[in-house]
Amino acid sequence: MIKKHYILLASLLCFGAAKAQEDPAASASVEKSLFNVQAGALGIYASNESRLSDRWALRTEVGLDLWFYETFNWNSWEESDKGSFLAPSISIEPRWYYNLKKRANKGKHIENNSANFVTLAVKYYPDLFKIGGPDQLYIPNQMSFIPKWGIRRAIAKSNFNYEAGIGVGYLWYISDNNIYRDQSDVALDIHLRLGYTF
DSSP per position, 10-29: HHHHHHHHHHHHH-GGGG--
User: Could you tell me if residue 82 is inside a domain?
Assistant: yes
Among 104, 106, 95, residue whose Cα is nearest residue 163: 95
Assess if residue 136 is contained within a domain. Answer: yes
> What does the pLDDT look like over 24-40, one tens digit per residue?
566 789 999 999 999 99
According to DSSP, the residues that pair with 164 across neighbouring strands are: 151, 192
pTM: 0.79
Domain assignment of residue 133, yes or no: yes
Percent of the chain that is helix, strand, coil (3-state, to 5): 15, 55, 30
- What SS3 class is residue 53? coil
Q: Give the C-alpha separation, 86 to 140, whole Å.
A: 14
* pLDDT score for 70: 80
Q: Where are the alpha helices (DSSP H) in 75-195?
A: 100-105
Burial 166-196 (b: 16+ CB within 10 A, else e): ebebebebbeeeeebeeeeeebebebebebe
How far, in Å, CA of 143 to CA of 92, rounded? 11
pLDDT tens-digit series, residues 93-138: 999 999 999 999 999 999 999 999 999 999 999 988 899 888 877 7
Q: What's the full length of the chain, in residues? A: 198
Q: Which of 133, 156, 152, 139 is nearest to 191 (CA)?
A: 152
pLDDT in tens, 160-180: 999 999 999 999 988 665 555
Q: What CATH number should be reported for the domain holding residue 133?
A: 2.40.160
Structural domain of 164 = 33-197
Average pLDDT, the chain: 85
Give domain status of residue 153, yes or no. Answer: yes
21 lies in some domain: no
Does the residue 175 lie in any domain? Answer: yes
Instruction: Please determine, for residue 18, whether its predicted confidence score (pLDDT) is greater than 80.
Output: no
Domain count for the chain: 1
Gap between the Cα atoms of 34 and 47, Å rounded: 8
